[in-house]
Every structure is written in structure tokens, then in C-alpha cells.
Amino acid sequence: PAVGAHALQTGPTDAELFEYVFGGGNTLLALSFVVNIALAGLTILGIVYLGRSLTDPRSKAIATALLLISVVSISSYTGLTSGLTLSVIEMPAGHPAAGATTAGESGVLVMWGRYLTWTFSTPFILIALGLIAGSNWTKILTTCAFTIAMCVTGLAAALTTSSLVLRWWWFVLSSTFFLVIVYVILVDWTAEAERTGTSDLFRTLKLLTVVGWFGYPILWALGVEGIAILDVAITSWGYSILDVITKYVVTFLALSYIVDEPESITGGSDYGATLPGSRVSDD
Ligand code: RET
């Protein structure tokens, strides 16, 4: 390869990877992508339908954040399905999958598009949760910055081929950023939801989010990027199922609560309502 050529510029093309995934023999892997395109599409339609009558600015802000989670998701899974955000990457010496071959190339199939697109989807999950808890933008944007840091360092962990130690060092960095987010959710937002009056909903969303999000680093560690005891299709289904819980289940629970526009959700003049603390209604 040319001097400076990156791992992503060598190896199979998107067309070859598409053929590898969809050309038969990898049906399980292919389904783990396609099922989520369908679910994200249905969720988008559901939000547009259920959210059409929202009038309060804060309810609308939450519904918009929820919508954007699925907008990112459908794009993410389209990237994986098309082969564009997949690569065959050689693991460093000492890695359990070092020396593996995939689609006739040496290396393992890395779904790096997942880590890339979490950078854009997870902030919207945190914006929705923070708004539901009644938190302030300082804390919400802090969690957004840390989730972006977590996802980008997670991407670095997946793509680093120079050394096994550095792959796991990226993993440690990413996990540290993750713990900051967990702290804000469990401590700050739990207390704020109590004051706001949304603690019933928040308790459920918190449980699904914290437990669900812990599944991702566990899968990473057990999957082909980590100690490689789970194969690519199982790892991919693991992420796809976690996505269903942390995105679509969370979305529908939150949405079915806010469509009633209870007093605890409406944000008053801070969010552009004309009467402070009340909802703007046109009926
Ligand atoms: C990685 C590996 C490095 C260590 C950690 C990770 C955490 C990932 C998480 C992802 C959550 C994704 C969601 C996506 C929904 O769209 C990057 C796997 C801590 C928590 C909720």
C-alpha cells in the first residue's frame, strides 16, 4: 500500500463486503442489520403519528430528540447493510483473532459504523432523558460531550491495530467516560426527576438505559474486538437487541407519557411557552 495508507483504504470494498454479508451464508448477520432498519422506520412513523398533537415546547423538544435517535439509527444500519461502514481489519499480535481471515482477506469483520453512529445517536438519548428529568443544559451537554468522547474512543479501540495494549487502553478511556454519564443519570437526574415530578417514568427509563448501556462494553469485550469468544453474527445481534431496548423501547415509553403533556413535563417560558409553567393549547 501507498505510504500513509490507512487500514480503511485497503481490504475489501463496500461492494465485496455487501456480497459477503448478503450473498448467502451470513443470513443471521444480514438480518441483524435489516431488522433494525425496519424497526427504526416504524419508530419514526410512530413518533410522527403520536407526536402530531403535541403543543407544549418542551414536549416537542423531547419528541424531536426521540425522533432524531431513530433518524440516526436508520442511517447507521443502512451504512452497515450497504457494506460502507464495515471493514476487514487485521488484529495485532497476541489478539485471539490475530491471523483470522474473512471474505478471503486476512482480518476480522469490524462493524466500525456502529461506534461511529453512536456518536450521533447517544447524545439524543441523553437530551431526551435530561429533559424528562428536568435537568439543565449544563448537565445535559456535559453528558453529550462525554458520550461523544466515549464513542470516538470506542471507535479508536476497534480500529487500533498497532498494539493489543493500546486497544484495551482505549477501552479503559472509553469506559471512564461512560462512568461519568452513569453518575449523572443515577445521581443528579434521579434527584432532579424527583423534584420535577417525573420520577415514575424516569425510574423505568433509567433502569433500561443504565442496564442496557452496560451491555455494550460487555459485548465489546466478549466479541470479536475483545477476547473473541462470541462470533461476529452473535455480537451483531447482541448490539441490535440492545439497540431495541435502549432506543425503541425507551422512545415508546417516553412518548406515551409525554403525549398527555402532564404538568411535570411542560417547561414554561424557558422553552418558549407563552404562559410560564403552563402548556400552550389551541383548543
Ligand atoms: C464501547 C467500547 C469501549 C467501552 C465502552 C463502550 C460503550 C458503548 C456504549 C454504547 C451505547 C450505545 C447506544 C446506542 C444506541 O443508539 C464503545 C462499546 C464503555 C455504552 C445506547
| Helix 199-222, helix 112-133: angle, nearest 10 | 160
Residue 9, pLDDT > 70, answer no
Q: Which residue's alpha carbon is at the smallest distance from atom 5 of ligand 1?
A: 217
Angle between helices 199-222 and 137-159 (to 10 degrees): 10
Q: pLDDT tens digits, residue range 145-182?
A: 999 999 999 999 999 999 999 999 999 999 999 999 99
Q: How many beta carbons lie within 10 A of that of residue 272, not counting itself?
A: 13
- Residue 33, all three cell numbers: 442489520
For ligand 1, atom 14: residue with the closest CA: 118
Q: Does the interface predicted TM-score (ipTM) exceed 0.85? A: yes
Q: Which atom of ligand 1 is nearest to the CA of 212?
A: 21
- Report whether pLDDT(8) > 70: no
Q: How confident is the model at residue 278 (pLDDT cuts 50, 70, 90)?
A: very low
- From ligand 1's centre to the CA of 135, what distance in Å? 23
11-268 falls under which CATH superfamily? Rhodopsin 7-helix transmembrane proteins (1.20.1070.10)
pLDDT band at 269 (very low <50, low <70, confident <90, very high): low
Measured CA to CA in angstroms, residue 198 lies from 94, 164, 189, 202 at distances of 49, 45, 10, 6
> Which of 118, 166, 218 best tests ligand 1's pocket when mutated (most atoms within 8 Å of CB)?
118
Q: What is the pTM of this model?
A: 0.92
Distance CA 35, CA 251 (A): 17
- For the chain, the DSSP string reads --TT--GGGSS--HHHHHHHHHSSS-HHHHHHHHHHHHHHHHHHHHHHHHTTT--SHHHHHHHHHHHHHHHHHHHHHHHHHHTTT-EEEPPPTTSTTTT-EETTEESEEE-HHHHHHHHHHHHHHHHHHHHHHT--HHHHHHHHHHHHHHHHHHHHHHH--S-HHHHHHHHHHHHHHHHHHHHIIIIIIHHHHHHHT-HHHHHHHHHHHHHHHHHHHHHHHHSTTTT--S-HHHHHHHHHHHHIIIIIIHHHHHHHHHTT--TTT--GGGGT-SSTTS-----
pLDDT of residue 273 exceeding 80: no
The model's confidence at residue 264, banded by pLDDT at 50, 70 and 90, is: confident
Q: What is the pLDDT of residue 1?
A: 44
Q: Among 216, 244, 248, which residue has the most ligand 1 atoms within 8 Å of its CB, making it the best to mutate?
A: 216
Over residues 182-232, the pLDDT tens digits come to 999 999 999 999 999 999 999 999 999 999 999 999 999 999 999 999 999
Per residue in 228-259, pLDDT tens? 999 999 999 999 999 999 999 999 999 999 99
Q: Of all protein residues, whose CA lies closest to atom 18 belonging to ligand 1?
A: 217
Ligand 1 centroid, distance to 147 Cα (angstroms): 8
Which residues are near ligand 1 (CB < 6 Å)? 73, 115, 118, 121-122, 125, 150-151, 154, 157, 171, 174-175, 178, 213, 216-217, 220, 243, 246-247
> For strand 101-102 and strand 105-106, is the pairing parallel, antiparallel, or unpaired?
antiparallel
Specify the residue with its C-alpha closest to ligand 1, atom 19.
Answer: 175
Ligand 1 center–CA 57 separation, angstroms: 30
Mutate to test the pocket of ligand 1, among 150, 184, 206 (most ligand atoms within 8 A of CB): 150
Tell me what the pLDDT averaged over the chain comes to: 92
**Cα angle at 62 between 49 and 38, to 5 degrees?**
45
Q: Contact 71/203 with Cβ under 8 angstroms?
A: no
Q: Where are the domains of the chain?
A: 11-268
